[in-house]
Chain A
Amino acid sequence: MSLIADIMANFWLGLIIKLLIVALLVPVIGMIIGFAEMKLSAKMQNRVGPYYAGGRWGWAQLIADGLKFFQKEDVIPADADRQVFKLAPALVLAATVALVVVIPFGPDMAFRNLELGLFYALAISSLSTIGVLVAGWSSANKYSLIGSLRAAGQLIAYELPLVLSVVGVVILAGTMNLDGIVQAQIASGIPYVVPQFVGFVVFFIAALAELSRIPFDMPVAESELVMGYMTEYTGFRFLFFYLAEFVNMFTMSAIAATLFLGGYHFPGLSGDLATVLGPVVLIAKSFLLVFMMLWFRWTFPRFREDQLQSMAWKVLVPVALANIAVTAILKVVI
């Protein structure tokens, strides 16, 4: 362990190692969630799903899909705004990778333990929408444009509940450092999902909307908008949007797990064992939430655009504010 600590003490060397880890982590998580989506969707619909690739269970399906994209022609429509069109997937992926930085995988085991980690996460999580807006605008396609405008409208509506729902956690923990929030949960003995259940529900709904997952998938509503902002994209550029979506699902789940489910802490574990098993615990909790998201996909029908807006403004924002008030009163007065 001391060797690792020595290497990480050198900032530049540590940074390179961290980037290498991320280079592995991002595609692997994307593949795992992509495969889970295929296989679980199939199970929920009583189908078999991927079956042949790699022998058993079709486990190599996503690897085969990824390789297939290498030989796909890179078609950029003549009418599109070329430079901006090419930039959009990079923007989305940059925001996705930047969000991974603050997740605490164990005690002091985040890529960078920022003091205002929570604020940072909330800010960066809405950045990828700019990439989506850019993609839809530059495609010179009416459906793409409508899709990206919907994405922007959705962000405006659901950013507020997302931000306000975590204020309760900040009041309880007294810190915005994600590692500190986990430590505060360990100290208080119960994960914040118990005292902040309302906050957790609001956060999860808002996160689903931010990720454009069903029932909030209006930006890519296939039956209305072809494929939304992704319609004109092919090959790798198309793949990057999907990769970003899957990885964002994981990071948002990881942040939710950190804030509300006790993060890397598992009751009863302590000392070195807790440090080593920290990432495993956090990833398990995150995948539990990812599973919920996949489950929702085959449970709820899509919202209508106006229903989505009115739910955010008339239900979630007031509920989140009431949650803040109640939490603060309980914390300060009692």
Chain B
Amino acid sequence: MSTYFQDYLTVGAFAAFGVVLVLVMLGVAAILRPSNPTEEKLTTYECGVDPVGTGWSQTYVRYYIFGLLFVLFDVEAVFIFPWALIAEDLGVFGLVAILLFMLTLVEGLFYAIKKGVLRWE
């Protein structure tokens, strides 16, 4: 088996093991714990008072604009890492290119700040 495949297999096994750990411990606890559900017990706790309305009430997700910015910069990070690995080999040419690239994005961030989209009211 190639080491490449083993890498994936190990990672997958560890992630699956996290799920197994939860199942095993809950399974053992199932033997010991009481199960006596009453209607009152199964109401949503919320803050101690009887909940009003439905639990999935509409919420204003404020940061969708942050989300857009995040995607931009995260993609930038993906581009920066390959360059960072061989920054020394690429020399001044690579450095100037990546600095121009970063400058463009910083300019965008600066514009967003000046425009006030990052302010919460």
Contacts and interface: CB of A to CB of B under 8 A. Distances in A.
Interface residue range, chain A:
35 or more
Interface string A15-27: 1001100110010
A324 B102 contact: yes
A54 B102 CA distance: 57
Interface string B1-41: 10000110111011111110111011011101111110101
A61 interface: no
Contacts of A47: none
B45 A231 contact: yes
Given A90-B18, A98-B15, A328-B95, A111 B42 contact: no
A332 B19 CA distance: 46
Contacts of B17: 19, 22-23, 94, 97
B102 A236 contact: no
A333 to B, nearest CB: 7
Contacts of A26: 21
Nearest to A237: B26
A290 B74 CA distance: 27
Contacts of B44: 77-80, 139-141, 232
Given A79-B51, A231-B46, A332-B92, 8 more contacts: A18-B14, A78-B43, A93-B22, A140-B44, A140-B55, A141-B44, A149-B61, A313-B69
28 contacts: A19-B14, A26-B21, A70-B28, A71-B33, A71-B34, A74-B26, A79-B44, A90-B18, A94-B17, A96-B18, A98-B15, A100-B14, A101-B14, A114-B11, A139-B55, A140-B55, A141-B51, A142-B55, A149-B61, A157-B70, A160-B73, A174-B86, A309-B118, A313-B66, A313-B118, A318-B106, A321-B106, A325-B102
